[in-house]
């Protein structure tokens, strides 16, 4: 009897161990030094219509072997009729297996982006070892993608790590916005089939990441430049922080110059008319960071003038940006999706992608309050209660 119980117990333990081990799915037991760590990837097309893939890999030398102690890197390039073919061609020229687990950014050439990159996105999305959290960038025509990835910034040695840090630091300047692979895919799968990807270029000294490229059906169709990128954030995310405005206000005696940093919040609503009428009720809080000429203190009257001018400027920016996208008949801010999600039936009457967005009406109201005037040096200011 005891023997029988023991047999049952041992069988059960063996079964549990067998089942547990059969769940083990990682047969990839390659050591870290047997992998070529790919940090950045560049994709573009040659004039002969061949795909050109550039990989940025750190050179692994033992610690202390380099004089400067910084991470040195190398870019390797491969060509092929298809992207995958170009990547496999690259495997032939690397000593160890390509490892995409640490891929930080994918830089796509403007030429390829304009032609359409649906098949690229499909490949990137389909390959499991490639995390869908990689940042996407469009490299402007003035740069070769290979040159961009070869550009060493004096601040951070690996360009791909520079991009990762740039977006990871949540840049306070609202000139551009990070887009990860899954975000691009997600936005593109919404009703408007439009999304944005930040644009970048480099010169001899440094890397610049600013403005947003607008995609429709995986093709680069336009750009959102400067304030337009910030306005895009305001329309899509319903808020934008640290937008900078420099105003030149005409006065009878002397022109007033002011710089303001403003945080804006957008309250979106729509009227169920056909075409739809959208209402953007924008409230903001600002900080006066510069005022010229010296000696003009920010009296209530001056502040009112600045606020009026600022509100006008913001309103104008929003109008211009929306009109620009309407002309392209591309709506990359999920405004249509908002309507679709709230009332699908009503949305179907709008014929959004064909004429709905182009004919949509909108009303913009902006209300800004200056919270900080920054007059620390004003010695004769009145104390509260005097």
Tell me which residues touch other proteins (CB under 8 A). 20-21, 23-26, 28-33, 35, 37, 39, 58, 60-63, 71, 99, 101-102, 104, 131, 161, 164
Looking at beta carbons only, is 19 or 48 nearer to other proteins? 19
Please give the structure tokens belonging to residue 102. 């640490």
Please give the backbone phi and psi of residue 192, each rounded to the nearest 5 degrees, phi first. Answer: -85, -10
Strand order in the sheet with 361-372: 239-249, 256-271, 277-292, 361-372
The 8-class DSSP code of residue 59 comes to -
CB 218 within 8 A of CB 188: yes
Q: Identify which of residues 152 and 313 has a Cβ nearer to other proteins in the complex.
A: 152
Q: How far is the CB of 119 from other proteins (least distance, A)?
A: 25
Q: Report the run of H or E that residue 313 belongs to, with start and end.
A: helix 300-328
For 81-161, strand residue ranges (E) read 97-99, 105-109, 135-139
Under DSSP, is residue 102 helix (H, G, I), strand (E, B) or coil? coil
Output 95 or 295, the one with its CB closest to other proteins.
95
Q: Which is nearer to other proteins, 87 or 314 (CB)?
A: 87
Closest CB to other proteins among 72 and 115? 72
- Closest approach, Cβ 30 to other proteins, in A, equals 8
* Shortest Å, Cβ 86 to other proteins: 23
Residue 85: closest CA among 55, 50, 136, 57: 50
To other proteins, the closest distance from the beta carbon of 58 in angstroms equals 5
Query: Smaller CB distance to other proteins: residue 34 or 299?
Result: 34
**Shortest spacing between CB 62 and other proteins, in angstroms:** 5
CA pair distance 225, 161, nearest whole angstrom: 25
Nearer to other proteins, 1 or 32 (CB): 32
Q: How far is the CB of 171 from other proteins (least distance, A)?
A: 19
Per-residue tokens: 252: 């009878």
C-alpha–C-alpha distance, residues 162 and 213, integer Å = 20
Written as six digits, the tokens of 161 are: 């790590």
Q: Write down the least CB distance from residue 202 to other proteins, Å.
A: 21
DSSP helix, strand, coil percent of the chain (3-state; round to 5): 35, 30, 35
Cα–Cα distance measured from residue 144 to residue 275, given in angstroms and rounded to the nearest whole number: 44
DSSP 92-133: TTSSSEEE-TT--EEEEEHHHHHH--HHHHHHHHH-TTS-TT
Our CB check for other proteins shows the closer of 156 and 328 to be: 156
Report, in Å, the least distance between residue 279 CB and other proteins.
45
Give whichever of 61 and 378 is closer to other proteins, judged by the CB atom: 61
75-to-37, 84, 148, 151, 351 alpha-carbon distances in Å: 12, 18, 10, 10, 47
Q: Per the structure block, which two tokens stand in for 45?
A: 């097309």
Bridge partners of 200?
139, 209
- For the CB of residue 136, give the shortest distance to other proteins in the complex, in Å: 18
């Amino acid at each position: 009897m005891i023997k029988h119980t023991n047999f049952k117990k041992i069988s059960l333990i063996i079964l549990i161990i067998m089942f547990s081990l059969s769940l083990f799915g990682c047969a990839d037991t390659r050591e870290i030094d047997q992998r070529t760590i790919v940090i950045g990837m560049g994709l573009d097309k040659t004039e002969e219509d061949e795909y050109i893939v550039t990989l940025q890999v750190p050179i692994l030398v033992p610690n202390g072997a380099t004089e400067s102690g910084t991470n040195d890197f190398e870019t390797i390039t491969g060509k092929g009729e298809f992207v995958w073919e170009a990547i496999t061609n690259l495997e032939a020229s690397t000593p160890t297996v390509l490892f995409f687990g640490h891929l930080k950014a994918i830089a796509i050439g403007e030429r390829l982006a304009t032609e359409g990159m649906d098949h690229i996105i499909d490949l990137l999305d389909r390959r499991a070892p490639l995390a869908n959290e990689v940042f996407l960038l469009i490299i402007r025509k003035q740069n070769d993608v290979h040159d961009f990835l070869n550009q060493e910034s004096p601040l951070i040695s690996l360009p791909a790590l520079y991009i990762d840090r740039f977006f990871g630091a949540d840049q306070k300047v609202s000139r551009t916005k990070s887009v990860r692979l899954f975000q691009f895919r997600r936005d593109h799968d919404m009703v408007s089939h439009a999304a944005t990807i930040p644009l970048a270029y480099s010169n001899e000294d440094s890397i610049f990441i600013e403005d947003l490229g607008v995609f429709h059906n995986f093709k680069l169709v336009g750009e959102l430049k400067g304030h337009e990128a910030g306005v895009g954030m305001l329309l899509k995310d319903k808020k934008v922080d640290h937008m900078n405005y420099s105003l030149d206000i005409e006065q009878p005696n002397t022109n007033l110059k002011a710089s303001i940093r403003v945080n804006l919040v957008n309250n979106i609503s729509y009227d169920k008319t056909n075409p739809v009428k959208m209402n953007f009720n924008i409230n903001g809080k600002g900080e006066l960071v510069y005022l010229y000429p010296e000696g003009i203190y920010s009296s209530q009257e001056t502040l009112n003038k600045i606020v009026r001018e600022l509100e006008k400027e913001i309103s104008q920016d929003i109008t211009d940006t929306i009109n620009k996208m309407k002309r392209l008949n591309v709506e990359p801010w999920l405004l249509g999706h908002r309507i679709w999600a709230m009332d699908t039936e009503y949305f179907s009457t709008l014929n959004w992608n064909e004429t709905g967005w182009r004919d949509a009406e909108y009303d913009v109201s902006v209300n800004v309050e200056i919270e900080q005037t920054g007059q620390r040096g004003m010695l004769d200011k009145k104390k509260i209660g005097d």
